[in-house]
Structures are given as C-alpha cells and as structure tokens.
Amino acid sequence: MSGISQICRKELARVFKDKKMIFSVFLLPVLIMVGIMTLVSSLSTSAQNDVEAHNSIVYVQNAPDGFEDFLRSSDKECEIIQMSDRAGTEDMIRDGNADLLIEFPEGFMDAVTEYKAGDSVPQIKTYYNPSEDYSRAAYDAISSGVLENYRETLLADRVEDMAGLTVFTVNSDNPDMVIQDEEKAGGKILGMMLPYFITILLFAGAMGIGTDMVAGEKERGTMASLLVSPIKRSSIVLGKVFSLMIISGVSSVVYVGAMVAFMPQMMGGMGGSDLGVNLSLNPAQIGMLAALLIAIAFMYSAIIVLVSVFAKTVKEANSYIMPVYMLVLVLGITTMFTTKTPQEWLYAVPIYNTSLTLQGILTQEVTMMQYGLTLGVTLVLGAVLIGVIAKAFESEKVMSI
C-alpha cells in the first residue's frame, strides 16, 4: 500500500510542484476556452446589432400610391427606391448592395379595388438574397411582416367585419400555455450539455499527463529504476492510475467551475439565462453523480495509462490516444441527440453508458438497475485494464528494457 501512495505522491508532485505544469494543465485550457467562447459570442452579438442597425435598401416596382408611406410607417429607416433597371437591381441584390425587391403587378390597386368573385388574385413578388444577412433580415421583416399587415389593411377596406373572417385564434392570449416540471426542464438542457462536457473534460484533463506517465518514463530511462525497487508492479500501476484520477478530477472541476462562472460572458448573445444553469440537485443525485464520476475518472485513467504502457515514446502515446479521444467525443455527442428511451442493454456498453446515465441522473429518469449496471461495467472495465497494465509491466518487450 505504501508503495502505491509513494508513486501516487511523486506523480502528483510532478504536476503540482511545477508552476508551468499547473498553468498548462489547469489554467491554459480554461483561458483558451473562455477566450474563444467570449470572442465568438461578442462577434455574433455585434453582427446581430449591426444587422439591426442597418437601413434596408428596398427597391419597388409598380408600387401603388401610399405603399411607400405604409412601409415607412413600420420601418422608419428603410430606404425605398423606385426600380428602373430590373437586371441591374438583381445584380445589386446578388452583390449585397440592395436588400430586397418588391414587385407589384401592373395595375395592382385597380385589381384589388375592382375585385369580383372569380377574378384572379393579384400577386406581389419579392426577391432577396438569403446568403446576405441584411437581405435576409429585410426579407423577414418586410416580406412576411409588413406585406402581411398591408394585406390586412387592404382587406379591411373590402370587408367590414374582420373578426367574422378570423373564425378562431390559437393562443393569442394564453401566457400559461407551457406546463412542465421546471426541475426536469432545467435538467433536460443541462443533461444534454453536462455529460458531454464532463466526460470529455475528464478525459482531456488526464490525457496530456497520462501519456507521459509510462511512455515518458520509458523514454527518459527512469522506468528501470522503479522496476528494481522492491514494490509490486501492480503498486506502480495503481499509484500512477490513482494520481491520474486525481489530476483529471481536479482539472475537470476547474473546467466545469470556470464554465459555470464565465457562462454569462461566453453565452452573451445567445440568451444565457435560458440555459437552466440554476438547476438544483438533490442529495441523492449528487451522491450518484459523484460515485459515477469517480468511476469514470478511474476507467479513463486506466485507458490512458494502458495506451501509455504500450507506446515506446510520448509522441507515439499521443498519437495512439487520439482515436480513443475521438471515440469519447463521438459517444458523448450521440447522447446529446437521442430522443427515444434507450434500450436496457445500452447501459452495458462502456463509455457510452456513462453518458446515458449522467444524462439520466440529471433528468431523474435513470433507474437504479441502469445506474448499477453502468457503475459496475465502468469499474470492472477499469479493473480489467489495470490487470492488463500490470501484466504488461512484467513483459520485457512492452517495457522495452
């Protein structure tokens, strides 16, 4: 036992006694993450503001009298130009120099006022460029907004009782239409995001340090001195895996903490208040989460050390670990988009089941059976891997000594 703790302490000292290591393992990823997210959200906010501040340039053709005033009354900043050259206007829309073209048929007003049942209904055509933000915004505001109002105005001239045409409305005055359990709703959004982030962070936090742990010692020639000390091979393995668990645990706590703390900055333009971050967990949930996260950290650490054992150099270990990391990423993503209730046997699939169960705990939908299965599979897999690593430590070939 003391061998395990000595090895573990040394590995922790390697990270925590080195300021550069602390910075690169714990702080740098947070700084990069917060920095990028803040930049992206501020850029998207300013782009949005820019679109809102832009004065739409609208070309009109054959506009009836009074339409320009009607348009101005709902969009004051709008610049209205009579179209003279059709092809030229289309080019301008294509190039982003004009935002919208509204084409009225000739004699539009006459066709409207002199309408008799059976006549063909006049059609207004609008043209826009969806790949230009300004154009798309003008289309949304005018084509489906202003023109709809204009239609109703003209209709009111023709029909005396508008309400008689409406027949019924849906939810025009019903603020209580959403009926849901607030806790579960918060859990739904968090349950989608958190398992994904946590599993990835647990893995990513351990990855850099873990690949160095055995392959690095081999490369530096320091492994043999451990192998001739009077402790069991399994003690060396466990010491290393436990220290890696602690490192990955600490780093994921730092990352998740930073994410929650900087959520407003990072989600600036995306409506951070709707994310349900104020989710409250009950003690049972917290206990289940904690136990599962420790088990996951244990399994991930074992996987990483295993890869590190079979690699001759740190570089090799880093390239071996990449596919595994990708797998963890992909399996995490799949749980974000599952809508069906997962089949029972899926809870026996390692790695995937941890994402499912984390999600299930947050949405309070996981059964004790599913939770137990996940926890068991995770721990057993971790233990089996430890066994394989200890076996590999005995092999001269693998240890390349």
CA 137 to chain centre: 26
Q: Across the chain, which distance is largest between two alpha carbons, in Å? A: 104
Residue 30 CB, nearest approach to another protein (Å): 24
Distance (Å) of CA 290 to CA 20, 165, 284, 285, 365: 29, 60, 10, 9, 17
Asked if 123 touches another protein (CB under 8 A), the answer is no
Residue 284 CB, nearest approach to another protein (Å): 41
User: If we measure between CA atoms, which residue out of 155, 70, 163, 146 comes closest to residue 121?
Assistant: 155
DSSP state, 312? S
Q: Which of the ranges 95-103, 153-161, 174-182, 214-222 carries the binding residues for another protein, by CB under 8 A? A: 214-222
Q: Which of the ranges 34-42, 155-163, 226-234, 244-252 carries the binding residues for another protein, by CB under 8 A? A: 226-234
Asked if 224 touches another protein (CB under 8 A), the answer is yes
Among 229, 273, 282, 367, binds another protein (CB under 8 A): 229
Distance (Å) of CA 258 to CA 35, 98, 279: 11, 44, 17
Asked if 400 touches another protein (CB under 8 A), the answer is no
Asked if 23 touches another protein (CB under 8 A), the answer is no
Asked if 43 touches another protein (CB under 8 A), the answer is no
Asked if 14 touches another protein (CB under 8 A), the answer is yes
Burial class from Cβ neighbours inside 10 Å (0-12, 13-18, 19+) for residue 179 reads: exposed
- Give the SS3 label for residue 189: helix
Dist CA 275 CA 190 (whole Å): 7
CB closer to another protein out of 102 and 236: 236
Residue 241 CB, nearest approach to another protein (Å): 17
CB closer to another protein out of 165 and 228: 228
Cβ–Cβ < 8 Å for 98, 92: yes
CB closer to another protein out of 11 and 99: 11
What is the binding site for another protein (CB under 8 A)?
Answer: 2-3, 6, 10, 13-14, 18, 217, 220-222, 224-225, 227-232, 396, 401
